[in-house]
A and B are shown apart, each in its own frame.
Chain A
Amino acid sequence: MEPIIKLENVWKIYQLGKTELAALRGLSLEINPGAFVAIMGASGSGKSTLLNIIGCLDFPTKGKVYLKGEDITKMSESQLAQLRGKVLGFVFQEFNLLPNINCLENVMLPMVFQRVPFLERKEKAEKILKMVGLEKRMIHQPAELSGGERQRVAMARAFANNPEVIIADEPTGNLDSTTGKMIMEFLKDFHIKQGKTMIVVTHDPNIANYAEEIINIKDGQITKNHLAAEKVLWKTKENILKSP
């Protein structure tokens, strides 16, 4: 099977005045379609940096990134935007809803950028919001919702264009454990029922439990088995709980 995401010897080096900071150091990995991957690691280990590169929000300083077999570093800005909108769905820790428009419009927005006709996108957005249990909150502004509700709207927005990969950076980081669990259940559902690829960054082993694969990062490198052949580190649920 061809991996949906493939990183080859990726470096990300930040220039901080005269000093250089390598957030990713020659990292390689492959993620297969339909996988549920959790990325774990200490704060500052480079998880978000990695996720941003996987999400085509940022480019590596060195190395190659393939999304569905295509080298993203060779793509134009508008091709990348198209790809992000269509193939990827983002869920952020701080929800990141647009504050000036209501929930329904927030969920419709990704479809605007894909030029989905108005009625179709409205219908679809309503359906997804219903799915995440927010049919009563559609015309509310994000500011009027609780954190958990906001994250559900954000999730609905991520699902809007029926993307192949959901990328979530600490999606439960701002939520209590019960609400966080609910969010993870929705993601799992989407993963199982629709076979979508999930990539979730988290600190929380309980959240990582939902994943089928776990990648551990330390100092911008995949730890333990970071041999060229074994970029993805497999773990059973028991193992995670034992090794924090």
Chain B
Amino acid sequence: MEDQREYFKIALRNIRTRRLRSFLTVLGIIIGVFLIISLLSLSEGLKTTINKQLQAMGGEMIMVMPGGEEDIFTSMMFGGAKLQKQDIEAIKKAKGVDKVLGFSYTGTIARYKDESKQIAMCGYDPWKESLDVLSIFQGWSLAEGRWPSKGNQILIGQYIANEIFSKKIKAGSEMVIKGKKFEVAGILNSLGSKQDDSMAYMDMKVYQNLTGEKQGTAAYAIVKLKEGADENVVKTEIEDSLEKTRKRRAGTDVADFSVITSEKMGEITGTILDIIQVVIIGFASIAIVVGGIGITNSMFTSVRERTKEIGIMKAIGAKNSAILSIFLIEAGIVGIFGGIGGVLLGSILAKVIDYYGQINPTFYFTTTISPWMIVFALVFSFSIGCLAGFFPARAAAKLKPVDALRKYE
């Protein structure tokens, strides 16, 4: 062990004397690890956000959303086609359906006192009924104020009330959204996700007046089932019913919709996110491998530059294993430095994204960095370093002392 410590010192010295080149080599690994950490932390964060969202949606509900099941993810993130009046009617007609709540949301600017901030507004249709269903079945409750009863009254989420504006918003205050004055009737307790907590909820009619969205349509629909109805049976009923109206309207542009039970929703997003993570790890690993090749390359030049030193060390009693150790340690150090640098940069980016999300409520990305990610990144970069350094180190160890010493400089 004693000698390993000495080899470590020599390796470190070697890295230091070729500072710039070592740094560039380290940079290759840094970029790879940085990619892994930042992308993984984003996708982890996405997973957390979506899981919260799903929990907020609650069980025993069915969602109808635009797009085929395979592109649920895109439509959730970026929106898509709208449900038409006939579609909503068709859903209502399906067996086992108790209530259908259509809803749409979009980002907008809201003014409170003299401050204008980005929030999201959300319309529910039918408004009164929605409030009933949401409060009874989805656990909506008021932190303050009362339920709205007039068209110019809205409900706002916790995040709008307490975080977005520099002054806290009290129930009964006035707020201006898209140039229209609203009274904040009530403030909701947290709904469990930041996205839901940074929305202003209002009557769909008012929403559509303000946004210009076509009256009677909705981006999504939540279906409340009749007592005792089976999720999967009702899902099929809704699909059949939608299919019929669609046939009737054949020829016009009829968008594809997916009918998804809450259980299925969790499954789909889970799988999609898993795939995304695998892809991310794949690409980032390629980046690290490229960095590793950089290490191999740099180590080979290092061995060539120091052939004479290797000869000297052998002449004064260094065994092949000692030379191998020195060069492996050097490569390992480069790898681990790259790992540390990448973890640091990745964490910084993650924090920046989080911070950006905090000041921009409609930016829903959050990041999560778990210890296993850091451990993985460090172990991975160290192993890549050693692996990349192995062949150059072996080449160094195998040099015949006389040839190494004779090297002409």
Select one of A58, A81, A113 contacting B3, CB under 8 A. Answer: A113
A47 to chain B, nearest CB (A): 14
A23 to chain B, nearest CB (A): 12
A141 to chain B, nearest CB (A): 10
The reply to whether the CB of B75 lies closer than 8 angstroms to some CB of chain A is no
Q: A52-B402, A57-B402 are in contact. Are A100 and B315 (CB under 8 A)?
A: no
Interface size of B by Cβ–Cβ distance < 8 Å? 25
Interface size of A by Cβ–Cβ distance < 8 Å? 29
The reply to whether the CB of A18 lies closer than 8 angstroms to some CB of chain B is no
- Tell me whether B318 and A81 are in contact (CB under 8 A): yes
**Residues of the B chain whose Cβ atoms lie less than 8 Å from the Cβ of A101:** 10, 13
Nearest to B321 among chain A residues (CB) is A78
**Residues of the B chain whose Cβ atoms lie less than 8 Å from the Cβ of A92:** 405
- Tell me whether B315 and A55 are in contact (CB under 8 A): yes
- Tell me whether B312 and A96 are in contact (CB under 8 A): yes
Which residues between 309 and 336 of chain B lie within 8 Å of chain A, taking CB atoms?
309, 312-322
Q: A55-B315, A100-B14, A101-B10 are in contact. Are A78 and B320 (CB under 8 A)?
A: yes
The reply to whether the CB of A110 lies closer than 8 angstroms to some CB of chain B is yes
Q: How far is the CA of A113 from the CA of B322 in the complex (A)?
A: 8
Nearest to B17 among chain A residues (CB) is A100
The reply to whether the CB of A61 lies closer than 8 angstroms to some CB of chain B is no
**Residues of the A chain whose Cβ atoms lie less than 8 Å from the Cβ of B181:** none
The reply to whether the CB of B253 lies closer than 8 angstroms to some CB of chain A is no
Q: How far is the CA of A109 from the CA of B314 in the complex (A)?
A: 11
Which residues between 14 and 29 of chain B lie within 8 Å of chain A, taking CB atoms?
14, 16-17
Q: Contact mask A94-120 → B, CB, 8 Å, 1/0?
A: 001111110000000110111101100
- Tell me whether A100 and B318 are in contact (CB under 8 A): no
Nearest to A114 among chain B residues (CB) is B317
Q: How far is the CA of A78 from the CA of B324 in the complex (A)?
A: 13
The reply to whether the CB of A11 lies closer than 8 angstroms to some CB of chain B is no
**Residues of the A chain whose Cβ atoms lie less than 8 Å from the Cβ of B6:** 112
A-B contact pairs, 11 of them (CB 8 A): A57-B401, A77-B319, A78-B321, A81-B314, A81-B322, A82-B317, A92-B405, A99-B17, A101-B13, A112-B3, A115-B2
A residues adjacent to B (C-beta < 8 A): 52, 55, 57-58, 77-78, 81-82, 84-86, 90, 92, 96-101, 109-110, 112-115, 117-118, 157, 161
